[in-house]
Amino acid sequence: MEGFIPHNMIRLVFWKCPHERWFKCNTDGASRGNPGLSSTTFCVRNDRGVLVYTGARKLLATTNIGAEVAVILDGIWDCPWKISVEVRMIKHWSNKGHVQFAHILREGNALADFLANMVFDLVGSIKIHISQELPTAARKILNSDKSEMPYIRQSKYKVREPD
């Protein structure tokens, strides 16, 4: 594009342990085709970053947003236009102070992202209660997160040249 200068931005992204006596549940939804075959996953870890429980399952064809919402509510996804109902439920519980929702960049959500994509190659669903049951690649992610090793996020953007 004429009149624009390309720039690179590099950020360090961390997965951080929750506060003492809290649990953190990272979620992810994935869709191949968008809409298409989808999956959801969640990973619950304690205040030391130790895996407490994780699960992943395939969904019928939906969008990536549909999969993201379905994992939070652990419901069956019927059709994309129902997303407004689920979002209202999420806001309802959040306003009561029972849960806290926060966005995390993909790099900081590496374990859930890995498992959401892994379930595409599996039949049915997975449920894991201890980290030793995770595939080796997932255990490496878990250990990196626990030691708060940074992930590198690189993005490109363009800025208009000054006149």
What pLDDT was estimated at residue 147? 94
Q: pLDDT at residue 19 above 70?
A: yes
Give the count of alpha carbons within 13 A of 144, CB side only: 18
Out of 61-70, 79-88, 149-158, least confident range? 79-88
pLDDT digits (tens, 9 = 90+) for 70-126: 777 653 333 334 445 655 666 676 677 656 677 888 999 999 999 999 988 776 788
Could you tell me if residue 137 is left (phi over 0), alpha (psi between -120 and 50 degrees) or otherwise beta? Answer: alpha
Helix ranges, 81-125 (H):
83-95, 110-118
* Cα-to-chain-centroid distance, residue 95: 22
Domains of the chain: 19-133 (3.30.420.10)
The predicted structure's pLDDT at residue 10: 94
pLDDT at 135 over 90: yes
Q: In whole numbers, what is the pLDDT of the chain averaged over residues?
A: 82
Q: According to the model, what pLDDT value does residue 75 have?
A: 39
The pTM score is 0.77
Residue 8 has pLDDT above 50, yes or no: yes
For residues 9-22, average pLDDT: 90
Rounded to an integer, the average pLDDT of 133-162 is 92
Q: Quick one: pLDDT at residue 99?
A: 63
For the chain, percent of residues with pLDDT exceeding 90: 33
Write down the pLDDT at residue 84: 58
Instruction: State the average pLDDT over residues 51-56.
Output: 88
Q: Which residues contact 2 (CB under 8 A, 6 or more apart)?
A: none
